[in-house]
Amino acid sequence: MMRRLLLLLLTVALAVSLLPGCSNSRDIQSLAYVSAIGLDYQDGKYQAYVQVLNFSNIASSETVMLGKPVPVWIGRGVGETISGALAETNATSQSRLFWGHVKAVIVTERMMERGVYGLISSLVRDRQGRYTALFYGTRENLEEIMVQKSIFNLSPLDTMMFTAVQLNTQKAYILPMKANEAFAYLNEPGGSGMLPEIGLNRKTWHEDRESKPMFIIKGAFFFDDHELQSRMSMEQLKGMRWRDRKLDVTPLKVNSNGRAAAVLMLGRPDFKIKVRFKDGQPKYDISIKTYGYLSDLIQYESVPKLQQLAQEAIKQEVLRTYKLALANKSDCYRLQLSLYRRYPRTFNQLTKNSSFTLDEQSISSVKVKVFLRTTGKFKGNVYSEKYKP
């Protein structure tokens, strides 16, 4: 019995010794974690930038001092293809690059002018690639974008580029987009593809007397069949903020008698498109519902009057942005996508000769409903009847 037991143990030990070991595995501390990728095209070749952060410098810890400079490592590779340029950074990194933590991808305008179809294959085909990375276009120098840090010298992971936080500002018309959403619209017919444009504001913030640039969304790039169609600034796209239900809050200034009357904080707009036909041509009826509260009352106005003024202001913003986009042949409200999804056969017939079929008469009506849920700490109006102008 003992002899059989010894023979069994010897057999098990021999079998274990023949199993493949973990000699090729890497400890997590020996990997270099890529947090952002930047892509450019110059001199006939692709240029890839990778941002690598030392997690020990950015982790929440009592030993990490607030305001202490956090080093950012940037790798740059050049190649005939996107994958080749990315592989060049791996060749000299000294540590194996891990791509599973990429949180942002930034593409230059030069890169977008070559089309973005190849990006889907190059960035997402790899098993480590994720669809949750935020996707941006830019006109800035990529190296300046990649080394940008947050206020108080916090790490780049605390910046808007990574957090996608919608700040309470009039500039928050365009929200950051995840790769799955960006690629989904790029693949849809009707020219509905769009990428937010990220840039740097060098005027607002200073550390003592030294100017400190900070991230800002400057506008958006529009595509038709993966080809860059146009670029529009944030001011031109002001009406687009009423299309995105994910918009938490945005301020709206309303005027009365040619002067500012109030500032309303509105958000979570419900933007709907109804498609109908007139003389064989599609017409689009837009309805918008949004809710909010009174932030500042400059002139005496009742709540119903303020709601009416806000409804007219939103309607004018929507129509102005549409006309500006029309001049660039951009479908900023994805009207043609609504036509395609509801009437695909009609859409294919109308787009045989041209993929862009919108004109000034395409939007038939814009109906807006604004509901003020509260006027803040004051009931009704700020001004009492006694001091009413």
The model's confidence at residue 27, banded by pLDDT at 50, 70 and 90, is low
3-state secondary structure at position 315:
helix
Nearby residues of 325 by Cβ (< 8 Å), 6 or more positions away: 222, 230, 232, 236, 237, 331, 332, 333
pLDDT value of residue 72: 83
Instruction: Name which residue leads in pLDDT, 359 or 67.
Output: 359
Question: E strand or H helix at 10, and its extent?
Answer: helix 2-18
Give mean pLDDT, residues 223-229.
Answer: 87
pLDDT for the residue 116: 81
What band does 282 get if pLDDT is binned at 50, 70 and 90? Answer: very high
pLDDT for 11 equals: 64
Q: Taking residues 329-343, what's their average pLDDT?
A: 93
Is CATH 3.30.300.210 the classification given to domain 239-381?
Answer: yes
Residue 173 in contact with residue 244, Cβ under 8 Å? no
Q: Tens of pLDDT along 175-203?
A: 788 888 888 888 888 778 899 999 999 99
Residue 340: per-residue pLDDT: 94
The residue among 185, 251, 271 whose CA lies nearest residue 222 is 185
Would you list the domain boundaries of the chain?
A: 30-235, 239-381
Is the pLDDT at 66 greater than 70? The verdict is no
- Quick check: 107 pLDDT over 80? yes
Is pLDDT of 387 > 50? no
Give me 47's structure tokens.
């240029």
Distance CA 315, CA 276 (A): 20
- Weakest-pLDDT range from 22-31, 124-133, 286-295, 339-348: 22-31
- Using CB atoms within 10 A of its CB, is residue 299 exposed (0-12), middle (13-18) or buried (19+)? middle
CA distance 375 to 293: 6
Q: What pLDDT, on a 0 to 100 scale, did the predictor assign at position 269?
A: 94
Work out the average pLDDT over 81-95: 85
Helix and strand tally (H, E) in the chain?
11, 16
Helix (H) or strand (E) holding 178, with range, is strand 177-178
Range among 109-123, 174-188, 334-348 rated most confident: 334-348
Global pTM? 0.84
Average of per-residue pLDDT across 368-379:
85
Q: Which residue has the higher pLDDT, 26 or 115?
A: 115
Question: What integer pLDDT is reported at residue 139 of this predicted model?
Answer: 95
The reported pLDDT for the residue numbered 243 is 92
pLDDT band at 174 (very low <50, low <70, confident <90, very high): confident
Q: Residue 172 — pLDDT band, cuts 50, 70, 90? A: low
Q: What percentage of the chain reaches a pLDDT higher than 90?
A: 44
